[in-house]
Structure 1
Amino acid sequence: MTRRTPREAIDRLMHVSMLISTDLSRYERASGLSAARIHLLWQLGLDGPTTQQRLAAALDVTPRNVTGLVDGLVASGHVTREPHPADRRAILVTPTAAGRAVIEENRASYDDLAQQLFGDLPADRLADFTAVLDETIARFTALMAEVEP
């Protein structure tokens, strides 16, 4: 087996990152939704209707940022703001039928891409690959924490 260098590994990681970015840009143009709005809808797909405060925490953005995203998604018909059933001070962000359609389309597309990329990998290679990715994510997260103000 050919020995690879750390530089070769990061080169490939950057290449994958660029491919993902290009794919997301294509989807943004086709859907008319920004990456941030797509991410918010994805989060609603994971959590169901939730407050803007929880969305801000989940997306790691400011509440003001979420307000702008939700305003745009309300205007485009993808979400509504509904009274919280248990907390009269809170408002739930709830996907509409159009929002749920985007969430389901994204989920199906995501699952399809995962299958196309990794579906034929033997289980042990997939486990090794995801373990290396987990380690890489943990190391990169720690490096980022060291440089944050």
Structure 2
Amino acid sequence: MKYLHYVTDRTSLTTTLDKVLHLSTLLAADQARFERETGLTSARIHLLWVLGLHGPSTQQVLASALEVTPRNVTGLVDGLVASGHVTRQPHPSDRRATLVTPTASGARAIRDLRESHADLAQQLFADVPASRLAAFDATLDETIATVTRLMKDHA
């Protein structure tokens, strides 16, 4: 689907915003393709990514990292247990807690996520000069901070 950038005002600021929105649309389409290929939802992919970063974790830790409720994590973990990506193991030092641990299939999915992430970064930015990449990164940081503030202001 082509982004409808031609319907907007052609000022520099709106043109830049149009490009950001177009990029967001393209990345969302790529994410949807990855979800179809893996059979995993975006939320389950995110949970696996967190497990890849932190290793076996309690559902409470996962809820905090994902910024969702523990109940929400329970549903995600249930789905990943059913699909064979994770198991629940007794916590070695807390009888009340369980550890969510990737299975071999989950570890493969995490590895594939990391490789896909690294490959896309390489394809997008490998040829960008360091000074331009640093400036782009700084602009993204500022933009993310502004959007975050605006969302809080309108919540």
* Aligned AA (2:142): E
Matched, 1:85 2:92: yes
Q: Secondary structure at the match of 2:87?
A: strand
Task: Work out the CA distance in 1 between the residues paired with 2:95 and 2:23.
Answer: 45
Deviates more, 1:80-89 or 1:106-115: 80-89
Give the Cα separation in 2 of the matches to 1:14 and 1:91. 41
Structure 1's consecutive aligned runs of 4 or more residues displaced over 2 angstroms after TM superposition are none
2:38 counterpart of 1:27: no
User: Percent identity among equivalent residues?
Assistant: 63
Any idea what SS the aligned residue of 2:53 has?
helix
- Match for residue 46 of structure 1 among 53, 60, 64: 53
Unaligned segments of structure 2, at least 5 residues: 1-10
Q: Which amino acid aligns with 2:96?
A: R
Which amino acid in structure 1 is aligned with residue 60 of structure 2? Q
The normalised TM-score by structure 2 is 0.91
For structure 1, which runs of at least 5 residues remain unmatched after alignment?
A: none
1:106-125 aligned at under 5 Å gives the runs: 106-125=113-132
* C-alpha distance in structure 1 between counterparts of 2:76 and 2:12, whole Å: 42
- Confirm whether residue 70 of structure 1 aligns to residue 77 of structure 2: yes
Higher mean alpha-carbon deviation, 16-25 vs 83-92, is at 83-92
Give the distance between the partners of 1:125 and 1:10, measured in 2 at CA: 19
Counterparts of 1:21 and 1:119 in 2: how far apart (Å)? 22
Q: For residue 57 of structure 1, what is the aligned residue in structure 2?
A: 64
Name the structure 2 match of 1:36.
43
Structure 1 residue 68 displacement after superposition = 0.4
